[in-house]
């Protein structure tokens, strides 16, 4: 009989300890409901503090961590500074608390209430991410987006719809990672968004930007090629590919895609200009001239096409002077003939340089070139007007 009484007494003591600790969780929740968040945080943190001997029974109870998540969410929404100061990142604390609760709730006893609270947390995290991004706090924004993605992947959510994928969050996480200069994450999330076809060609372009910023030009080219296969109508992908090939001095590939671009968009003057530059690099001035002429016909304000035409003719004049200087000193007639031919090239250069001055009268190089031409051609009245 005495043994039974001792067992019963011990059971009652253990039960009282358990209920006392669970009572502390209830007290913390009551403090939260009454707006006393400082006391709520103090109580709930004591209930999960491993250094606190009295927390032994509450620390592994899923409900403890669920309540802790609620309390820290309330801190996030607090208006008073004294409550806001309770945590630097209360949503991260809430996230970690709910994560712990889900892990401990092996019997799914609290799954329904946890799912409701996690749904609310997702909304809070999204709002935090947007605000942090707008405040240029990209690391905080990225962390919030990633927490949303992690929650969405937990079995508690997957059970309802195992095929649900929030592509908007994946895409935004990638863009935010790009702004945070975490290029590996930007590429990973970007590729995932592209796999689901989110936001079309724009996704491929900023993935390529991430590759470029980590100095992986071949990776950028590869993703742009994938993008072009999916979106052959997109001019921006094509333009970015051409520029990368030009940067790599891979002229054959650049020319291939330039011709493709011109065929798709014959009214895009920048393609003709790029082709002109490419022809110049290969020493084919005649085709360069034809390309630049097509560019200025298509766009009468394209400064660089006018300028490059002027430079080609100007340089031909300079080379003609160099040829004149090689004429023997006793061949004055031959010398004068070569100089006159130089003036022909300078006269051909002049209208293009004048057009450049008309488009941008503040361009220093244009002003200098134009003054040299006026001086060379003895147009001193015009020379005196250019400063």
The token pair that represents 269 in the structure block: 């003057």
At 226-267, the pLDDT tens digits run 999 999 888 889 889 999 998 898 999 999 999 999 998 899
pLDDT tens-digit readout, 37-83: 999 999 999 999 888 878 778 899 999 999 999 999 999 999 999 99
Lowest average pLDDT, out of 70-79, 152-161, 178-187, 344-353, goes to: 152-161
Query: Out of 113-117, 163-167, 200-204, which region has the weakest mean confidence (pLDDT)?
Result: 163-167
Residue 162 pLDDT > 70, yes or no?
no
Q: What is the pLDDT of residues 299-322, one digit of tens each?
A: 999 999 999 999 999 999 999 999
* Contacts of residue 172, Cβ cutoff 8 Å, sequence gap at least 6: 129, 145
pLDDT of residue 224 exceeding 50, the answer is yes
pLDDT (0 to 100) of residue 343:
92
* The pLDDT of residue 223 is above 80: yes
Average the pLDDT over 349-353 and give the result.
Answer: 96
Q: Which helix (H) or strand (E) holds 338?
A: helix 332-359
Query: Is residue 361 predicted with pLDDT exceeding 60?
Result: yes
Residues in the chain: 387
The structural domains of the chain, with segments of one domain joined by +, span 12-164
Q: Produce one character per residue of 163-197: b if its CB has 16 or more CB atoms within 10 Å, e if not.
A: eebbbebbbbbbbbbbebebbebbbbbbbbbbeee
Q: Is 250 left (phi over 0), alpha (psi -120 to 50) or beta?
A: beta
What pTM did the predictor assign? Answer: 0.75
Tell me what pLDDT residue 328 has.
Answer: 87
Q: Report H helices in 265-331.
A: 269-281, 285-298, 303-324
pLDDT for 9 equals 40
Give pLDDT, residue 13. Answer: 41
What single string gives the DSSP state of each residue in 196-212?
A: TTTTHHHHHHHHHHHHH
Tokens for 199, please give them.
């936001």
pLDDT of residue 233: 83
Q: What is the pLDDT of residue 6?
A: 41
Which pLDDT tens digit goes with each residue over 6-47?
A: 433 444 344 444 445 577 888 889 999 999 999 999 999 999
89-139 pLDDT, tens per residue?
999 999 999 999 999 999 999 999 999 999 999 999 999 999 999 999 999
pLDDT value at residue 21: 53
- Region 325-349: mean pLDDT is 88
211 Cβ contact list (under 8 Å, min separation 6): 183, 187, 217, 219, 220, 223
The pLDDT of residue 164: 60
- pLDDT confidence of 337, banded at 50, 70, 90? confident
Distance CA 244, CA 124 (A): 41
Kindly tell me if the per-residue pLDDT of 4 is higher than 50. no
Of 156, 132, 154, 157, residue with least CA distance to 143: 132
Averaged pLDDT for residues 161-180: 86
Closest to 17 in 3D by CA, of 66, 61, 58: 58
Task: Kindly state the DSSP code that residue 234 receives in the 8-state scheme.
Answer: -
pLDDT confidence of residue 330: 82
């Amino acid at each position: 009989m005495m043994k039974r009484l001792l067992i019963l007494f011990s059971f009652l003591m253990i039960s009282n300890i358990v209920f006392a600790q669970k009572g502390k969780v209830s007290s913390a929740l009551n403090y939260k409901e009454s707006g006393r968040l400082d006391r709520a945080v103090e109580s709930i943190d004591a209930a999960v503090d491993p250094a606190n001997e009295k927390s032994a029974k509450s620390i592994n109870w899923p409900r403890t961590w669920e309540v802790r998540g609620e309390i820290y969410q309330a801190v996030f929404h607090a208006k008073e500074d004294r409550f806001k100061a309770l945590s630097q990142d209360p949503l991260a604390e809430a996230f970690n608390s709910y994560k712990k609760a889900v892990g401990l709730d092996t019997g799914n006893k609290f799954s329904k209430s946890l799912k409701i609270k996690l749904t609310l947390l997702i909304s809070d995290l999204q709002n935090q991410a947007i605000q942090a991004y707008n405040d240029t706090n990209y690391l905080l924004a990225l962390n919030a987006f990633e927490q949303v993605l992690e929650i969405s992947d937990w079995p508690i959510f997957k059970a309802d719809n195992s095929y649900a994928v929030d592509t908007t969050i994946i895409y935004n996480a990638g863009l935010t990672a790009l702004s945070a200069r975490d290029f590996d994450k930007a590429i990973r999330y970007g590729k995932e968004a592209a796999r689901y076809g989110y936001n079309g060609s724009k996704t491929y372009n900023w993935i390529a930007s991430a590759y470029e910023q980590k100095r992986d030009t071949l990776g950028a080219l590869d993703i742009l090629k994938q993008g072009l296969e999916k979106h052959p109508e997109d001019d921006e992908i094509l333009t970015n590919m051409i520029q990368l090939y030009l940067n790599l001095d891979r002229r054959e590939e650049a020319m291939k895609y330039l011709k493709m671009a011109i065929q798709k968009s014959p009214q895009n003057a920048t393609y003709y200009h790029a082709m002109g530059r490419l022809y110049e690099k290969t020493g084919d001035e005649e085709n360069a001239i034809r390309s630049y002429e097509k560019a200025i016909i298509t766009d009468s304000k394209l400064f660089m096409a006018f300028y490059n035409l002027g430079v080609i003719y100007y340089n031909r004049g300079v080379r003609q002077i160099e040829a004149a200087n090689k004429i023997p000193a006793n061949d004055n007639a031959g010398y004068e003939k070569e100089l006159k031919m130089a003036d022909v090239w300078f006269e051909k250069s002049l209208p293009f340089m004048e057009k450049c001055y008309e488009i941008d009268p503040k361009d220093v190089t244009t002003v200098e070139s134009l003054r040299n031409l006026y001086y060379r051609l003895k147009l001193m009245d015009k020379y005196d007007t250019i400063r």
